[in-house]
Copies of this chain bind each other. A is one copy, B any other.
Amino acid sequence: MDEVKVIEIKKSVFAANDQDADALRKELKNKGVYLLNLMSSPGSGKTTTLIRTINLLKDRLRVAVMEADIDSDVDARRIQAATGIPSIQLHTGGMCHLDAEMTRQGLDNLPLEDFDLVVLENVGNLVCPAEFDTGAVRNAMILSVPEGDDKPLKYPLMFSVCNVVVVNKTDVMPYFDFDLDRCREHVRMRNPRARVIPICAKTGEGVDAFADWLLEEVKTWKQH
């Protein structure tokens, strides 16, 4: 597989993360780059979903990916091999989340003027990443069917901060006690405005709806 750039992320020294995140968002706006923060549990299918989504978007948008991981670089290599787009790996050194300064350390390694959309694949964790604004324009998360439709009840903050909840692995719905309507209802309790998009990243089913949402988002954001 292709070599990918691996960046060792250092712990942030900024206490005022919210201000720092706002500043980063402004900088990205000036450069015309849309940053999406993608979160989920371990093993929910973030990387497979991203590969499918990017392959639908890459002829219409210039996309790059930053993969945050504790210490492997498997995901960045996988994405680069499967999509051909630039992908860099951020090593968080055991840290459980990314904040705005850590995100900036990653972005500093990309020629931002060359991209419309940068996707940050956050650390697999439903708790800590939700607490830190990364400077992204929007937050999205993936909830996979085997995790259960009760997760919005148990991880309230994560579902509150996300604009989109992608429900992945719909192909195995018959084997799990997962009800899509109940899931929508639980998401609505945490965040009435969040969109729920069911997909199967393995077969590609439904991924176009997520890609369309993202395309529309980037276009709108670049115009205003």
How many copies of this chain sit in the oligomeric assembly? Answer: 2
Interface string of A64-75 (1 = CB under 8 A from B): 000001111010
Contacting residue for A156 out of B41, B70, B74, B127, CB 8 A: B70
Query: By the criterion CB–CB under 8 Å, are A154 and B41 in contact?
Result: no
Number of interface residues of A (CB under 8 A): 34
Closest CB of chain B to A85's CB: distance in Å? Answer: 22
Query: By the criterion CB–CB under 8 Å, are B43 and A124 in contact?
Result: no
Q: Is A105 an interface residue (CB 8 A)?
A: no
| Complex contacts, A69 vs chain B, CB 8 Å | 154
Q: Which residues of A, 166-221, contact B by the 8 Å Cβ criterion?
A: 169, 171-172, 175-176
Residue ID in chain B nearest A123 by CB atoms: B127
| Complex contacts, A126 vs chain B, CB 8 Å | 42, 124-125
Closest CB of chain B to A163's CB: distance in Å? Answer: 20
Interface string of A132-167 (1 = CB under 8 A from B): 000000000000111110110111110000000000
Contacting residue for A153 out of B72, B127, B131, B153, CB 8 A: B72
User: Which residue numbers of A lie inside 8 Å of B, CB to CB?
Assistant: 41-43, 69-72, 74, 94, 96, 123-128, 131, 144-148, 150-151, 153-157, 169, 171-172, 175-176
A-B residue pairs in contact (CB < 8 Å), sample of 20: A41-B41, A41-B42, A41-B124, A43-B144, A43-B147, A69-B154, A70-B127, A71-B156, A72-B153, A74-B153, A94-B127, A94-B131, A96-B128, A124-B155, A125-B125, A127-B128, A146-B146, A146-B169, A171-B175, A175-B175
